[in-house]
Structures are given as structure tokens and as C-alpha cells.
Structure 1
């Protein structure tokens, strides 16, 4: 029996107000996918509007990022820098923490990759193996770098005191003392590369999974995702409350 040919869906005609709403959202959020999701439109259509308007999405994003970090380096607070660049505060926090976004994945500076397309955020096995270039990269000035650890080893070998090493590196004596105590090898010596890798391996600190299958929280999140709520909207709708019998916490779902 011949199948009845399907009638093609009519092309949707977008109103000018929808285009303006998207462009305003893009100016504020800086990403096509986020702006399209906010106004409830398809990203492909929205991207075409940017092309028609002569807007380079990637160049726009790079310029905004550069301006945000310029303000931060000038001593502007995160909230103020985000407001001046029209940036969402959640994105500003990610930028400060050097978290990169790729599709539905979040790539952390320590190599973790969280993929939100999967049922449960997992660590990529390839990323769990800390590669040397990644380990050597300094994440933030507050962390000891590999160069710092080499100086600690060299100064310790000359018999310098902890306070003397701390003055040289402009660090607190407790930082040097803790570094020498926690990151020694099994033989009791201090090796900068081994110490740096050991410190990097401590960073991920994996947490227990909260979205356990069959739990009220998981069911709630799934329902909201099905009606196209964003993770940020779901997060804001969840209210923390303390149990009366102790410090255990649960989610009170509204």
C-alpha cells in the first residue's frame, strides 16, 4: 500500500518584534544559544538574523570578554563589571574561574568535563589523566605555580628557613609550611613536579550525585527541563530548607 505523502510544515514567519527581542537578548547575553533559548526561538534562525544584521557573533563575544577582563584587572568588582558589559552574573563567575563552554559541556581548568547531554554529569576518562601542559599551567595567582615549587625546592636545599622562603615568594609562611608537609614524596623529599601533580589531582574534589534516579529532585528537574526551563531557572526555583532534626538538608520543591 502506498503511503500518503506527508504535507510539509509551513514555514514560520517571524515578526519583527521577535527579531528585535532576540537581538536585545543577544546584546545582553553575548551567545546565540542563550539568547535564542531565552526568547523561545530556534538558534539557526537567530544566527541568520545576526548575519543579515552584519554582526559577527564570535567577534562580539571576544570583544565583550576582553572588556570584562579589562574592567576586572582595573579593580572593578565582578557584579559591576558584569553589569557594565551586560553580562549574566553566572557567566561572569564562570569566566573568573576560567570555565569554558562548548555546546552543552563545561570544561574546567583542572581538566574536568561535565556534559549536560548525559543523564548524570560525568568526568571524561581522557580528561582525568592530567597531561603535563595542563598541570604546568597556572590557574590563578593564589595557587602555587610550578616555578614557585621549583624555588621552594631550591631554597630548601640551601637550608633556608620557611619564613625566608615565604618572604622570597611573597607568600604566607603557613603556605610554605603546608606545601612542604603535604606534598612530600614517600621518601620524604620534596620534588616540584611531583608536588605540582599531587596538588592538581586534589582539585577536582568530586561530589556525591544529587540527581539520584527515582528521587523527587530528579523528577522535578526532568519535568522542568521538558517544559524548556533553563538550568538557572530550575536552580532559582529550588528552595533549601533545614530538617528540624539535624543539619541534614533536603530540597523543598515549589
Structure 2
């Protein structure tokens, strides 16, 4: 049984709550107060902090995002399947996405200096950088 991965015991991890916990901490709320607001035990909050060295995990941010966007795991699968020589349509069918989504991903996140190789981690970083661009809201720009 050494090669078989065992499922984690206990409750299923609630990523939305954990992501909100990290947002509260970033806003300056203490661990105990954040746990009280979210309805989780303080030991859970301390465990989340200990597991991540006190820093918000990167992949948790992806878990709280909409399924509309590609995740890092999906991008890594695209890279692997692309290396194996599968076509865009074959990759899309394996991911359960539209071929246009895969095509757009490869076009947007493969730069000329990448030598035609799609790197999932670089693509994910580029995507996250683009979503963080500073932009004022339309209503905030309008003086009336």
C-alpha cells in the first residue's frame, strides 16, 4: 500500500473560508477575531498559519477564483499535453474546455523568447500580473 495515496482524514477543506481568513489577516484583523467572524475554531486558524509559515499560500487564491478562469493545474496539464504533441482540440476535450479557450491561452501566454515552449508557471504568473494592473473604476473617474 506504499504507492497508493491515502485520502486526508477529517473535514473537507473549505477553501472559500480559508481564503477569507487570509483576507481578514491582511486587513489587520487578528487570528482569534478572524476565526470568530468566520465561525471556525482558533486552533484551525493557528494551524492554517503554521502550515504556511504565516504567509498566504499562492494556490489558495486560485481556489477562490471562478471556474471561468484557468487554474495553475489546468495550465500545467495544457503544457504537458502540448509537449506530448496533442492538438488544441484534443487538449480542450481532455480539460473539458472550449478549443478557443486553449488556443487563446497558448497565444496570450507564449512569448517569442519562450522558443515555442509553453511554460505553465510562467503563463500563470503573466495572467496574474495582468489581472492586478491598476485601474480606476468607471464611476470613480466620472466627476458627475
| TM-score, structure 2 as length reference | 0.53
Which residue of structure 2 lines up, in the alignment, with residue 166 of structure 1?
92
Q: Distance in 2 between matches of 1:168 and 1:194?
A: 22
Gaps of 5+ in 1: 1-65, 70-94, 105-130, 211-234, 239-248
Equivalence map 1:77-96=2 (5 Å) = none
Aligned counterparts, 1:28-177, within 5 A: 100-101=23-24, 102=27, 133-134=57-58, 137-138=61-62, 139-177=65-103
Higher relative contact order (CA 8 A, sep 6+): 2
**Greater fraction strand:** 1
Q: Secondary structure at the match of 2:143?
A: strand
Greater mean alpha carbon deviation, residues 173-182 or residues 184-193: 184-193
Relative to its length, the structure with more helix (as a share) is 2
SS of 1:251's partner is coil
Whether the 8 Å contact between 1:135 and 1:200 is mirrored in structure 2 is: no
Number of aligned residue pairs: give it. Answer: 97
Cα displacement (A) at 1:204: 1.4
Q: Which residue of 2 aligns with 1:190?
A: 118
2:127 to 196, 199, 205: 199
How big is the alpha-carbon RMSD for the aligned residues of Structure 1 and Structure 2?
3.8
